[in-house]
Amino acid sequence: MTPIRILVVDDSVVIRKLLSETLSADPEFEVVGSAGDGRIGLAKIAQLHPDLVTLDVEMPVLNGLETLTELRKLYPKLPVVMFSTLTERGASATLDALSLGASDYATKPCDTGSPAVALAAIRAELIPKIKALCAQPASKLASLPPPRPPVPVRRPAQRRIEIVAIGTSTGGPNALAEVLPRLPKDFPVPIVLVQHMPPIFTRLLAERLDSRSQIHIQEGSAGVTPCPGQAWIAPGNFHMTLKRSAMGSRLELNQDPPENSCRPSVDVLFRSVADVYGANVLAVVMTGMGSDGVIGAERIRGRGGEVIIQNEASSVVWGMPGLVHASGQADAVYPLDQLSQEITRRVLQNRAAPALSPRNEPVALEHRSK
């Protein structure tokens, strides 16, 4: 098997050494070179032809964003993973980088006090992302079980969608920026979503999406009643769930153990949405690495809800939606540029029908006005 050739671009000698040694210890990787600034990095790409570049955000001469802008002009499909600090400035720059075409990001280990802990953090976060982004077509097919036809689900004739739940990971910020701004201002149901990101990142993502969308988007808070025309993003390092209340439902946050190595977890959110809203759920699983969302999708469809997914061609990584598809839990598959239209269509149909409880009995789900 040909190793994945990696170029490390970072102005810190310590970080370059740490990354190079950690990545080289994996037999599937070959670190072909390193660079201390963006200009040198661009020159080395031309010389070394790497399969993937790790790129620091803050560097002299050409910073990460400037380097990425030039890199994308010359190498539009070369995978790039940003390596940034877990700070507000680092998070903001990383979101800028993703919008400029970065494939993914990893956060630098900080204040660990131990090189061994730092190495373990890099191995846990960065290595799986590189392997997912650089997987060959044959490897991608081998990593997924064969697709099954959709599992038959009995859905009550009188039902309507009362909430949309979205789960996404790698490639998700750009995918969400494609879908959420296209939803109409009078979108008639609330949206709850999980995007795998650490603290600070999720708040800044919510603010950016809100500034570009007609619906209101914010980071989730405990005790909030989901309202039509609004969306809530699970905060980093917290699971977000829904619980029944006098107003229909309310958001809750917890720091229970990670599921699928994730907190927030899509499965946690999806299960709670299914338990509260029963058949009146539309779930959307978008681009992302790993299996988070498969069990939750099964719970939603088991209660009579619907699950649609992003297709492989438009996904950065088809892990999460691909596994939902392979498990037979996808009702339909759509390219990214059709998802907002399809979400709106499914929500608007049967709006005159009464909502149903999880036991398929009519129930009034009241919401606060916008």
DSSP-H helix ranges across 180-215? 201-212
101 lies in some domain: yes
- Residues 26 and 70 both lie in one domain: yes
**The pLDDT of residue 122:** 82
Cα separation, 191 vs 283, whole angstroms: 10
Burial (0-12, 13-18, 19+ Cβ within 10 Å), 353: middle
Question: Any idea which residue has 């939750």 for tokens?
Answer: 296
Q: Which domain holds residue 82?
A: 4-134
Does 172 reside within a domain?
A: yes
Give 2's contacts (C-beta < 8 A, 6+ positions apart). none
Q: What's the CATH number where 15 sits?
A: 3.40.50.2300
Task: Give the integer Cα–Cα distance in Å for 284 and 309.
Answer: 5
315-330 pLDDT, tens digit each? 999 999 999 999 999 9
Assigned domain for 146 exists:
no
C-beta separation of 127 from 23 below 8 A? yes
Report residue 367 as tokens.
């919401």
| 358 assigned to some structural domain | no
Is 190 in the same domain as 321? yes
Question: Angle between the 64-74 and 88-99 helix axes, to the nearest 10 degrees?
Answer: 10
Alpha-carbon gap, residue 166 to 125, rounded angstroms = 23
* CB neighbour list of residue 19: distance below 8 Å, 6 or more residues apart: 8, 10, 31, 34, 54, 83, 122, 126
Distances (CA, A) of 275 to 243, 278, 281, 298, 331: 8, 6, 10, 12, 19
pLDDT at 190 (0 to 100): 98
Residues 68 and 194 in one domain: no
Question: Any idea what DSSP says for residue 317?
Answer: -
Task: Pull the structure tokens for residue 314.
Answer: 């438009």
Answer yes or no: do 184 and 130 share one domain. Answer: no
Residue 61 in any domain: the answer is yes
- CATH number at 195 reads 3.40.50.180
Q: Which residues of 149-158 are buried (b: 16+ CB within 10 A; e: fewer)?
A: eeeebeeeee
Q: What angle do CA 100, 316, 342 make, to 5 degrees?
A: 100
Characterise 229 by phi-psi region: left (phi > 0), alpha (psi -120 to 50), beta (else). Answer: left
Domain-embedded: residue 147: no
The pLDDT tens digits along the chain (370 residues) read 799 999 999 999 988 998 999 999 999 999 999 999 999 999 999 999 999 999 999 999 999 999 999 999 999 999 999 988 878 888 999 999 999 999 999 988 766 567 778 788 888 889 999 999 998 654 454 556 777 888 999 888 788 999 999 999 999 999 999 999 999 999 999 999 999 999 999 999 999 999 999 999 999 999 999 999 999 999 999 999 999 988 789 999 999 999 999 999 999 999 999 999 999 999 999 999 999 999 999 999 999 999 999 999 999 999 999 999 999 999 999 999 999 999 999 999 978 666 666 555 544 433 333 3
Domain shared by 195 and 294, yes or no: yes
* Residues 223, 298 share a domain: yes
**Structural domain contains residue 234:** yes
Residue 94 lies in a domain: yes
Q: Which of 112, 82, 5, 108 is nearest to 50 (CA)?
A: 5
Instruction: Give catalytic residues, as residue numbers.
Output: 169, 196, 292
How many domains does the chain contain in total?
Answer: 2
Whether 180 and 252 share a structural domain: yes
CA angle 328, 143, 291 (to 5 degrees): 55
128 and 203 together in one domain: no
Give the C-alpha separation, 277 to 304, whole Å.
10
pLDDT for 368: 35
Q: Are residues 106 and 175 in the same domain?
A: no
Do 194 and 312 have their domain in common? yes
124 and 184 inside one domain: no
